[in-house]
Structure 1
Amino acid sequence: MDIKLLSTLNSERAARRATVLITELGSGEQRLVKEADLAGDEMAEALDNQLRSGKSGTVEVDGKAWFLTVQAPPPRIIVTGAVHISQALAPMAKLLDLDVTVIDPRTAFATQERFPDVTLLAEWPEEALQSVPFDGYTAFVALTHDPKIDDPALQAALRSSCFYIGALGSRKTHGKRLERLAAAGFGEADVKRIHAPIGLDIGAVSPAEIALAILGEIVQALRGPRRKPV
């Protein structure tokens, strides 16, 4: 591989940004496409399909065979709220190869006994997000019902390129949330990114069912048609 391509590849990996290395199988010629440049590429459709799958593979375009090497950051979920739903969500997410970080300053809830094998930050979101900043391969889930905990993280998520943002609560609760966000300077286009009511509409009632609905919606956002970068 060309040293410049390798250097760019390593830089994008370190910054948690996706790339696709394109190799023409006939000639061995290679080039690298960053996710931010994907839409303008002549092979955009094939690259997008491969990137959404998260897997490398061979495709045929214009009568030529190409191998597309996908380098995508491990997707992760950041949750505010060490609650029953997040207790159910964490082990399910692990089965889907989704890393979970739970943020909750309430130390009575944020314990390793309740969340074994989970990255747990018993801090306020403003502090915790310094070590796990949002990016394009991060999903954010707000579950506390406490504006002092959920709102700062929600605002940070809306300012980022998170691929999914969801917030638990009734329509009345979400209406009040939207009022607070508007007062903080967020417009209609911003708040439309929030999935609320959260999760796929499967009639979920128990914490485990709600967690399942949330994860289904996250996978749909991750593997479905990509949104334009924010």
Structure 2
Amino acid sequence: MWYLENNGAVEMAVAEEMTAMALRLHRQGQPVALATVMATWGSAPRPVGAQMLICADGSFHGSVSGGCVEGAVVLEALEALEAGQCRRLRYGVADADAFAVGLACGGEIELVVEPVGQGQGVDPAMLERLVEAQSARQPIAVRLDLSSWQRELILAQTDLAVFEAGVGLAGDVFTYVQTVPLRLVIMGAVHIAQYLAPMAQMAGYLVTIIDPRDSFASPARFDGHEVIVDWPEEALARLALDGRTAFVTLTHDPKMDTPALQHAVASDVFYIGALGSTRTHAKRRQSMLELGVSAAQFARIQGPVGLDIGSRTPAEIALSILAAMTAKLRGRAHG
């Protein structure tokens, strides 16, 4: 079971990045604090669970309001770091503290600021456990008592109800659910993939590129992404294609695309796309049905891949693919 934003949880790609960054900077000896959105009202620009990392020099990463209250939160975080005390904050349109304008959109947000490894703040060992869960693709939650600043880690197998309820603030108890990270698996280390990989990464996806051709699947061409030099049958047998994974084939070569798509349609991936014209996709359908793929399974494949935005260049095609993935993830119809 996967916990998406429609049951109260949110896409936590940025928050997970903040957690890992906070742990890394703390280990380097830098004082840092984490600010987390606990509740929103009205037209708040950032969702519950959004995080911001504040350093002792006043620099910060991430956001909790899209720019409306970040300055005020930085000041509160610096004081929290100095005192080793957590802060519970609330900002709205009438709050003079937020640069005398509050949330220009008219919403309200409630936040918690936690120093890392200081006083009432979060234990670095807990952050380490959260980062480990992210790497292992395991959902995990933290229950924070705002009156005592006690924290409890919760696993899905021990308390499924917490994950079904999702992120939320109930009185003095805030529950933070860290979802499994989004992932994109690309079959074919081609030109389009060189644009799609960084675009997807910026959208919060961990990216894996598979191609048996050494000259294509070069780490130099895909710096910062996982590259697997192998045939799809072998590579995909080692990957767990789960419900938080999008899968795209870009090779135009049936020897690679067909076995890769057979594997994908038999999995729980939330999006499957295949590069190629309408005629190519019709031929693909015939050959895959002959291989035993059902019509219902094949219908899961979007081909031609991506939204029809008139794409011509590799970058535009990559953009259309990411847009189609996003539409599927958010439950929007696309064609």
TM bucket (normalised to shorter chain) is: 0.7 to 0.9
Tell me what 1:124 maps to: 231
1:127 aligned partner, one-letter code: E
Looking at structure 2, the residues matched to 223 and 67 of structure 1 have their Cα atoms a distance apart, in angstroms, of 25
Matched residues, number: 201
% identity of equivalent residues:
46
Provide Cα deviations, 1:110-150, integer angstroms capped at 9, x if missing partner. 21222222211111011112332311111100100101111
Aligned partners of 1:108, 1:58: CA distance in 2, in Å? 48
Residue in 1 aligned with 2:250? 143
CA contact (8 A) 1:21 1:33 kept: no
Cα pair distance change 1:25/1:142, threshold 3 Å: same
C-alpha distance 67-168 of structure 1, shift in aligned 2 (>3 A) = same
Q: Which amino acid aligns with 2:191?
A: H
- Structure 1 unaligned regions, length at least 5: 1-8, 48-56, 226-230
C-alpha distance in 1 between matches for 2:141 and 2:238:
27
Aligned CA distance change for structure 1 residues 183 and 97 (closer, same or farther; 3 Å)? same
Match of 1:74 in 2: 181
Matched, 1:58 2:178: no
* Cα distance between partner residues in 2 of 1:17 and 1:177: 35
- Say whether the 8 Å CA contact 1:17–1:136 is kept in structure 2: no
Alignment partners' CA distance in 1, 2:142 and 2:184: 26
Give 1:71 deviation, angstroms: 2.8
Task: Tell me if 1:16 matches 2:137.
Answer: yes
Moved more, 209-218 or 131-140: 131-140
What is aligned with 1:52?
none
Aligned pairs (5 A) from 1:1-230: 16=137, 18=139, 47=166, 57-58=167-168, 67-224=174-331
RMSD: 3.3
Q: Give the 3-state SS of the residue equivalent to 2:255 in structure 1.
A: helix
Normalising by structure 1, report the TM-score: 0.72
Query: What TM-score do you get using the length of structure 2 for normalisation?
Result: 0.51
Instruction: State which drifts further: 14-23 or 183-192.
Output: 14-23
Q: Corresponding residue for 2:75?
A: none
Structure 1 residue 13: Cα displacement = 6.9
1:125 is matched by which residue type in structure 2? P
Alpha-carbon distance in 1 for matches of 2:194, 2:141: 35
Task: Specify which structure has the higher proportion of helix.
Answer: 1
Cα pair 1:58 1:65 within 8 Å, conserved: no
Equivalent-residue separation in structure 1 for 2:225 and 2:141 (angstroms): 30
Higher relative contact order (CA closer than 8 Å, sequence separation 6+)? 1
Counterpart of 2:223, as a letter, is P
Taking a change above 3 Å as real, the CA distance of residues 190 and 218 of structure 1, as seen in their structure-2 partners, is same
Counterpart residue number, 2:90: none
Cα distance in 1, alignment partners of residues 155 and 297 from structure 2: 28
Post-superposition offset of 1:177: 0.6
Q: How far apart in 2 are the matches of 1:197 and 1:131?
A: 27
The code of the aligned residue for 2:313 comes to S
1:16, 1:135 within 8 Å by CA — same for their partners in 2?
no
User: In the alignment, which residue of structure 2 is the partner of 1:6?
Assistant: none
- 2:323 maps to a residue whose letter is G
Which stretch shows the higher mean deviation, 116-125 or 106-115?
Answer: 106-115
